[in-house]
Amino acid sequence: MSAARIVVVGTGYVGLTTGACLASLGHRVTCVDVDEAKVSRLSAGRVDILEPGLAELVTGGITGGRLSFVVGARKAVQEADGVFLCVPTPMGAGGSADLRAVEAVTAEIGDVLPAGCALITKSTVPVGTSKRIHAMLGREDVPIVSNPEFLREGTAVSDFLNPDRIVVGSDTPGAARWVGDLYADLGAPVVVADAASAELVKYAANCFLALKLSYVNSIAELCERLGADIDLVTEGMGYDRRIGRAFLKPGPGWGGSCLPKDTSALVKVAESVNYDFRMLTSAIDENIAQRDRIVAKIAGACGGTLAGARIGVLGLAFKAGTNDLRDSPALAVSSVLGALGAEITAYDPAVDSAIDGMTVVDDPYQVAKDADVIVVLTEWAEFKHLDWTIMADAMEGDDVVDTRNLLDPRTVIDAGLSWQGVGRPRAA
């Protein structure tokens, strides 16, 4: 396909990655945001989010003349062949997706979109949103296309450039195929669907991942009760290609800006058509239960009570490789510990902001100072390479609770500490 003129509305990690990557594929991309300060930072090539490779792509796009940043969607879209909506769709009242940002942008640009320009939803939107946007626009000459993204935070650029698949859905099939062609150079399979199916793919995929993780966390709990080892169980399961090896690591629960909101939203979508999606509701409940079990495990390591316990926390982000604290299980566990009377000192290599109810330090060894227990909550590789003898010397107590099964238990024990993970035998 020849270079298309693309506008991307919203410069969060999805919008910015989409804009910078489409520019790297040769398209001419204008990214729009309402935040003037952010637009000037981005225009100078300054990227605030931690996303490997993104800053380089942004700079390359700007210097190559294929990528620019502006405030004001109305002006930007007037020459566009396609407009991507990449604005937030957070969890709204009662768990449904809040579509106010999507609707506001649609209202803002509706009358100035050129005839034939595709309006493309990339934000995760409930099934039926394409139809809703179509009705709002009241224009037959602007096709609506759903093109869900499957980017993971922390690997968004490489996920974009090496996709497992591209999904495009529209009730105007030609427009869906045109959007699919924007990615032709990536050589990925393209699933061309109707709008509702494409919208559902995104939820079905994210919710399946959440189900898989709640299942693994439940099996890990069984392992603890039955004296089995989750590492060996998931290794044995993962070789089965129907199951796959990915997403089989137990932890303090799943979180982040997507899985929690998308699971709640799909339960709501199901309710709206009178389907009680019990399996998914159970997965959400199980995720809360997992957090509570982790808190109980830490309380156990503190001798049964958290009141007055000094806990050193390693990791606050919802997963390694990101500085995102949204719906972070690490933060949720830490907050519950604090609320139950523990004194929390926390370190995360990507987080330097002050957080209510805890002391955030900028050196991992500081969390060990006088700590009764150390808890690993995010799987940053650097925690594996800490000198656990120095940690042990600084600690008051001698327990390490590793909720990510990240550390080598032998190293911890050799330092004179005891180690307990999730779904694995304790080591002391």
Q: Which residue numbers are catalytic? A: 258
297 is in an annotated binding site: no
199 is in an annotated binding site: no
Rounded Cα–Cα distance for residues 382 and 175 (Å): 46
- Return the number of the residue (255 or 421) whose C-beta is nearest ligand UGA: 255
CB of 153 to ligand UGA, least distance (A): 4
> For 278-304, what is the HEC assignment?
HHHHHHHHHHHHHHHHHHHHHHHHCCC
Scan for tokens 């974009």, then name that residue. 160
66 is in an annotated binding site: no
Scan for tokens 């990536």, then name that residue. 186
CB of 1 to ligand UGA, least distance (A): 24
- Return the number of the residue (199 or 372) whose C-beta is nearest ligand UGA: 199
Scan for tokens 């942004």, then name that residue. 58
Q: Are 267 and 281 in contact (CB under 8 A)?
A: yes
Backbone angles phi, psi at 100, to 5 degrees: -60, -40
What stretches of 276-417 adopt beta strand conformation (E)? Answer: 310-314, 343-347, 359-360, 373-376, 399-402
Q: Within 10 Å of residue 427's Cβ, how many Cβ atoms?
A: 17
410 is in an annotated binding site: no
| Structure-block tokens of residue 414 | 């050799």
- Return the number of the residue (24 or 328) whose C-beta is nearest ligand UGA: 328
Side-chain half-sphere exposure of 416, counting CA atoms within 13 A: 11
CB of 114 to ligand UGA, least distance (A): 29
CB of 51 to ligand UGA, least distance (A): 10
Rounded Cα–Cα distance for residues 129 and 274 (Å): 18
CB of 150 to ligand UGA, least distance (A): 4
249 is in an annotated binding site: yes
261 is in an annotated binding site: yes
The total number of residues shown for the chain amounts to 428
Instruction: Determine how β-strand 310-314 pairs with β-strand 5-9.
Output: unpaired
124 is in an annotated binding site: yes
326 is in an annotated binding site: yes
- Return the number of the residue (112 or 205) whose C-beta is nearest ligand UGA: 205
CB of 330 to ligand UGA, least distance (A): 8
The letter for the amino acid at 110 is G
Q: Select from 296, 266, 293, 292 the least CA-distant residue to 281.
A: 266
Which residues are at the interface with ligand UGA (CB under 6 A)? 124, 149-153, 206, 209, 213, 247-249, 251, 254-256, 258-259, 318-319, 329
Using only C-alpha atoms, the chain has a radius of gyration, in whole angstroms, of: 23
- Return the number of the residue (247 or 365) whose C-beta is nearest ligand UGA: 247
- Return the number of the residue (193 or 392) whose C-beta is nearest ligand UGA: 193
Q: Are 297 and 304 in contact (CB under 8 A)?
A: no
Please state, in angstroms and as integers, the Cα–Cα distance from residue 313 to each residue in 340, 356, 365, 374, following that order. Answer: 15, 14, 11, 6
Binding residues for NAD(+), by number, are 33, 38, 89, 124, 153, 261, 326
Binding residues for substrate, by number, are 150-153, 202, 247-251, 255, 319
Binding residues, by number, are 33, 38, 89, 124, 150-153, 202, 247-251, 255, 261, 319, 326
